[in-house]
Chains A and B, each alone.
Chain A
């Protein structure tokens, strides 16, 4: 195949792209055209409805449906688009207007926006986020619940190599295999930061998933030695896995924080999400995740039940 073919091909691709949106917009509920109301700055309006996007792991979907439950209670029309992909995919979609609201995590979001950011305490991080965010996006006040990245090993591996902290990994440089979602290879809280901060180098990086069946299965089977998990996963305790401590604070504080497009951020939305943020605790969120992953309940049902039980929705 010649490069000319390839170029014609992409030219054709781009050509169809221009021609098609008008047609297919009618066939779907989602169009990027009708969500651009409200100007920049604070004066948004949720009147036209809010589309909530979520990333590709359980907890983010639970949070998305929790946002939906409290917003609906406040009279806002909502639509949830679950399982859209990684932060690297979802945030451009938020900027592009495909979605309006996203459950985020302070530290990870700040790292994504500014890999060199040093803020570690939640208040400072909130300010840093406001500065680092591109125009058109803002973070609302962060909630009580937290969920951090964790690097875990099996009890056996911990004993064998004498591992208790991330710093201990350096002694085993070139020997261990790290398993994580593909994006972690390029992230600060991931291969990049582990090398910069702790001088750790792995024998191999295995692209798996975000605290899903692949990474947990691989850790269980011994296909990977170190796995990137989330602290709100009950499997860590259930399997007696050891979470390596982080003496140099590579992993930032991770309060859950709503990331929203300015155009939708009105008082109704702010109040509803702030109330949820104050009520939801880390332990409760962990339990909700467990109900979805272990009891196979729907994230949507789990979220609605929680909202009712805590007086956040009827």
Chain B
């Protein structure tokens, strides 16, 4: 075990390991690109959907069940399926990552919306606010903490799962995990895993920082 960690230290700190097209810097950038793009697309789909369901109260049962269905989708199967249907591109990876992230975003957005006190909404309407004003000026800000929780959860899962890109020949930090598996090079696997975890934790901290920044007025 000690040996493994010592070698991991060497692996992580060697300059040659960081440089080049198979270097950590490049793989890290790829991994961030896959994860952020997938989460962005998932947010573009999941957030409006969750807001709509939460605001109108319609389709909640269907959406929540679909979301739990989505959680059961096996990522490996989805990647292979889209690959067989459409050939080799990043599309299978993005489809799988988005499918993974959307349920967390929808359910948390919906939960955030339903947690808003009906009296507050009534009061807003009583003041003459239009439906979209109630949604964007009252409900959304109040639901934001739970929405952010959903986003953070989705992002963590996407970062960990973006590893799969390497299975279909692409890059990202998963390259180290899959190559390390094929070569039985555990240092490389551990290195990849540590970097993925570090990226996930760093992005999560960044989002929670953003969240605190957004709500700095509320506690004051």
Nearest-Cβ distance from residue A133 to partner chain B, whole angstroms: 17
Main secondary structure of the interface of B (DSSP, over half): helix
User: Which A residues touch B201, using CB under 8 A?
Assistant: 1
B88 A218 Cβ-Cβ under 8 A: yes
Residues of B within 8 A of A14 (CB): 1
Chain A neighbourhood of B179, CB < 8 A: 182, 185, 207
In the complex where A207-B169, A208-B169 touch, is A183 in contact with B1 (Cβ < 8 A)?
no
A283 to B3, CA, bound (A): 47
Docked complex: B166-204 residues within 8 A CB-CB of A: 166, 168-169, 175, 178-179, 181-185, 194, 197-198, 201
Asked if residues B178 and A88 are in contact (CB atoms below 8 Å), the reply is no
Shortest CB distance B56–A (Å): 41
Residue B13 is within 8 A (CB to CB) of chain A in the complex: no
B182 near A1 (CB under 8 angstroms)?
no
Interface centre among A1, A85, A204, A205 (most CB of B within 10 A): A1
Specify the chain A residue showing the minimal Cβ separation from B5.
A7
A182 surroundings in chain B (CB, below 8 A): 178-179, 181-183
Residue A21 lies at the interface, judged by CB distance under 8 Å to chain B: no
Residue pair B88, A10 in contact (C-beta under 8 Å): no
Contact A214 B1 (CB under 8 A): no
How big is the A interface, by class? 20 to 34
* A to B contact number (C-beta, < 8 Å): 53
Q: Is the CB of A89 within 8 A of B184?
A: yes
Question: With an 8 A cutoff between CB atoms, is A186 at the interface?
Answer: yes
Q: How far is the CB of B58 from chain A (nearest CB, A)?
A: 42
Rounded to whole Å, the gap between the CB of B194 and the closest CB of chain A is 7
Assuming the A-B contacts A1-B198, A14-B1, A207-B178, are A214 and B184 also in contact, with contact meaning beta carbons closer than 8 angstroms in the complex?
no
> Is the pair A185, B183 in contact by a Cβ cutoff of 8 Å?
yes
Cα distance A85–B167 in the bound complex, in angstroms: 13
Q: Count how many chain B residues have C-beta atoms less than 8 Å from C-beta atoms of the other chain.
A: 21
Does B175 lie within 8 Å of A207, measured CB to CB? yes
Given A1-B201, A7-B5, A207-B166, A217-B184 contact (CB < 8 Å): no
**Nearest opposing residue in chain A for B9, CB measure:** A3
Q: Across the interface, which residues of A come within 8 angstroms of B175, CB to CB?
A: 207
| Interface membership of A86, Cβ < 8 A | yes
A218, B184: Cβ atoms under 8 Å? no
Q: Tell me the chain A residues, 152-195 only, with Cβ under 8 Å from chain B.
A: 181-183, 185-186
- Chain A residues in 8 Å Cβ range of B1: 10, 14
A92 within 8 A of B: yes
Q: Does A296 contact B (CB under 8 A)?
A: no
* Complex contact B178–A214 (CB within 8 A): no
* C-alpha spacing A165/B87, complex, angstroms: 31
* Residues of chain A contacted by B127 (CB below 8 angstroms): none
Leading 7 A-B pairs by shortest Cβ distance: A182-B182, A88-B184, A182-B179, A183-B182, A86-B182, A214-B169, A183-B183
20 residue pairs of the A-B complex, CB under 8 angstroms, read A1-B197, A3-B5, A7-B5, A86-B184, A88-B183, A89-B182, A89-B184, A92-B184, A182-B178, A182-B181, A182-B182, A182-B183, A183-B183, A186-B183, A209-B169, A214-B169, A217-B87, A218-B88, A218-B169, A221-B88
